[in-house]
Structure 1
Amino acid sequence: MPHDPLATRARLSEVRYEIRGELARRARELEAQGRELVKLNIGNPGAFGFRAPDHLQRAIADRIHDTDPYTHQQGLPAAREAIAAFHRARGAIDADAERVFVGNGVSELIDISLRALLNPGDEVLLPSPDYPLWSAATILNDGRPVYYRCKVANDFLPDPDEIEALVSSRTRAIVLINPNNPTGATYPRALLERIVRIAEKHGLLLMADEIYDGVLYEDARFQPLAPLAGDVPCLSLGGLSKVHRACGWRVGWGVLSGDARRCAGFQHAMDLLGALRLCANVPGQFAIEAALQGADTIAPLCAPGGRLHEARRAVLDSCAASEHLQLVAPSGALYAFPGVVGDAASGFEDHAFALELLETEGVLVVPGSSFNVPYRNHFRVTLLPEPDVLRDVFARIDRVLQRRATARRAAPVDLATRRAASG
């Protein structure tokens, strides 16, 4: 007897993750046909020749015989104490190992923390553009994303007055991604202090995605949120994947700070949900102490002459030389978020552009609208390839945009446009 297809969760129709979506599937099809592609869709250092530092690899190898059993649901005690000490050293005076949660990457902890926090219909204030996992996890935990704008004209920094205007009786949290993915913006102390005051006034949880905290360029500075939050509940998220180039190890952590009484229920909920998944990946946890107490291996890559610095410079120079692109220089993280301008921007649709770029030039980028913005003239690239590769990529991007601009200039002007021009 035939049956209807299996139904899936209705809210999945609201979820987008184009970083690994339709375009990435098309890229795999092209590769299967023998095409060589430059894939700039994922911030995955290991795919571009970066390696986790040797002292982190040794830390795991030296303890591999201890990695077979489950560990405590919050993580290895020594790893949690190292994380707490790291946060205390940068000003979060109440950071404590008992309020540290180790997860299978920050991604898992985002999901767990929102599941611990939200009741159906509760709202979370998210940046636009955002990293789309935040929107997806809010939706799939029965919440509602409410976006505060980070405008190009303001160098992708948010307006605290707009954030406060969006607070409602259902708002539970304010999410900050600093340094930002996808824009590379870093948030100044004064701006963060104003957002802390909003959270304090309205009784909200601050959720600080700080996974790129050490990836900084030129004179940019990273200001952690927890020291400014004080008694205001704050969950600070970090990990090994970006700063330490160990994405595949799936090691992330969350540090809960703020008034212990106010945080107690949320802390218990995080612990319960962590216990339900038993524990995070154990081998990678043995690298945490070495990572946080060992040599700084990311700063040389971001300094002049370092590979990430020079890759960023290649993107800045390419965009400056193009009549079709405009870029707010990223001051942190591993991405650039160029905008298309001029004749090429007329009638521009980011997904169609990304597909054309993939099909004709063999370059995979992420459409900007995938990051929950209302405009469709941006795209994201990662800064991980070698500088010369990025220069070549942007030459290919410019070819596609030049074709579009030329076609737009050659297109006949319609009657309505003529009438408007003549007054």
Structure 2
Amino acid sequence: MSADHSSRLYAAHLDTVRARADAALARGGFDHLVVPSGTLHYQVFDDRDYPYAVNPHFKAWLPLTNTPGSWLVYTPGERPKLIFLQPHDYWHVVPEAPNGDWVEHFDIQIIRNADDAKQHLPRNAARCAILGEAQSALGQYGAFAPNNPQAVLDYLHYHRAFKTPYELAMMREATRVAVRGHRAAERAFRAGASEFGIHLAYCQAARQDANDLPYNNIVCLNEHGAVLHYTDRDRRPPAQSRSFLIDAGGSHRGYAADITRTYAAAGHDEFQSMIDAVDAAQLRMCDQVRDGTDYKQIHLDAHLALAGILRDFGVITVSPEAAVATGVSSAFFPHGIGHGIGLQVHDVAGFAASDAGGTIAKPDGHPYLRLTRVLAPGMVVTIEPGIYFIDMLLDELNAKGQGDSVNWDAVARFKPYGGIRIEDDVVCTERAPENLTRDGFAG
């Protein structure tokens, strides 16, 4: 993408962000939008800080992700203002002064001390919608403390689901970062590396470390694939690597990619066949990401499809319909089909009924679904079906008297592989969906 094209996309994006802010402020009855970038959190009884995470409302305006102590101020009809903290500091690397084509759209004030921001903020904090965490407050008695007015948040969060062309471009770049890491991780697995070694190979290829990546890498060999958020990472390889599940992403200018792949070691043909079946079903689910589709229905359809795979491989003894109706399918697929993604891996307002608030309920019996909205052009969602062999959930089936629905000999064959998850990031368009992840691997 040329610099000129990127500049035009950003300018148009900023127009959209300003228009949304205008409407949100009018909805809440405020004159100014004030957004702190966030501050460092220090560990209790220590002088070590936790990894800094920028306020997503801040990076919605600016491609800045490592600027603690800075502020964004916007007043309708005026140029947005960036109050940029560039401290005098010889203990740490001082952030570079703002630069790039985006700076022409802002009035920029550089400060050297965090408290100096007060003189550049609107005089009357009561007329400001201040979005952020409590510890970003400046001054005594909560002056310029985040108030997070619900009407403003409801409006901004709801509309953030609809990505601008600039945001989609950033997410394509984040996907390229993640794909580099995934390819290196598969090579490391095939070479017999440990989980920790695979993780290091991923970070090296992605050129991002734990503070840069959008979430903590999930790197699982063998039975560890049955732990949905496994992050322990054994330092030594197992005696035999049978399977590999990796859920790992990438970041670009504040936007995230979220990708999961599962691999079988050479010679484990039955498990590879099950992976292939889940992959084919997952592609059909991705094709459901279309304008007007209820995301809840994709989730429910996924249960039926995965139950069909379990029946085909002899893991369950009942029909797919019966497995879904009785909850047997949830023992093998216990999470939601996916979530919104963008500035955050699990993007906000997944249950929002409208930009005025309200909640769209999850389907009964499916407590872990993170998105219940009807899809529309510009929305980006993940599609991540999975099949797992989890002792706790299988034991619960037995305890509920549903053990006859399961072929326990087949479960015993598949348990050493842990599980399967395949995840793509998919854009809803006015026509066929755009699969960011598959396009990234094809590139």
TM-score of Structure 1 vs Structure 2, range by shorter chain: under 0.3
Which has the higher Rg, Structure 1 or Structure 2?
2
Compute the TM-score of the two structures, normalised by the length of structure 1.
Answer: 0.23
Higher relative contact order (CA 8 A, sep 6+): 1
